[in-house]
Amino acid sequence: MIDMYGTPYTAALHVVERYRLIDYDDAKAAIARNSKENIRIDEVASDPTYSGKHLQLQFKVEDEGVFTTPWFATITYERAADAWAENVCAENLFEFYGQGSDGGVPTADKSDF
């Protein structure tokens, strides 16, 4: 699957992503729509007083094996009210591998980035 909803994909999948910072005035409509239509995660509250730049992701998905036509989506992210703690899966032993356990932690000989 390609997302949390179980959308299937084939080897023909092609995704193009475009990230950009947009002004608050350009983000207002998306923020209002997002608050009405999308799932809110209570632990991650947004800062309602922030009027600076917002991160916007536009993407295009093509997969002839699954979809009859390419489709597009846009996500506009709001600024979090609190700082987010760093969360690196392979190093987050508490949450992903049990408290203090190092069993099964993935390792690599060479960094992939």
Mind spelling out the 3-state secondary structure of the chain?
Answer: CCCCCCCCCCCCCEEEEEEEEECHHHHHHHHHHHHHHCCCCCCCCECCCCCCCEEEEEEEEECCCCCCCCEEEEEEECCECCCCCCCCHHHCHHHHHCCCCCCCCCCCCCCCC
For residue 1, tell me if it sits in a domain. Answer: no
pLDDT digits (tens, 9 = 90+) for 26-80: 998 988 887 777 766 655 677 777 888 999 999 999 999 999 999 998 888 887 7
Query: In which band, very low, low, confident or very high, does the pLDDT at 93 lie, cut at 50, 70 and 90?
Result: low
Q: What pLDDT score was predicted for residue 105? A: 57
Q: What was the pLDDT predicted at 22? A: 93
Is residue 108 in a domain?
Answer: no
Question: Is residue 46 in a domain?
Answer: yes
Task: Decide if 74 is inside a domain.
Answer: yes
User: Which residue range forms the structural domain that includes residue 24?
Assistant: 14-82
| Domain tally, the chain | 1
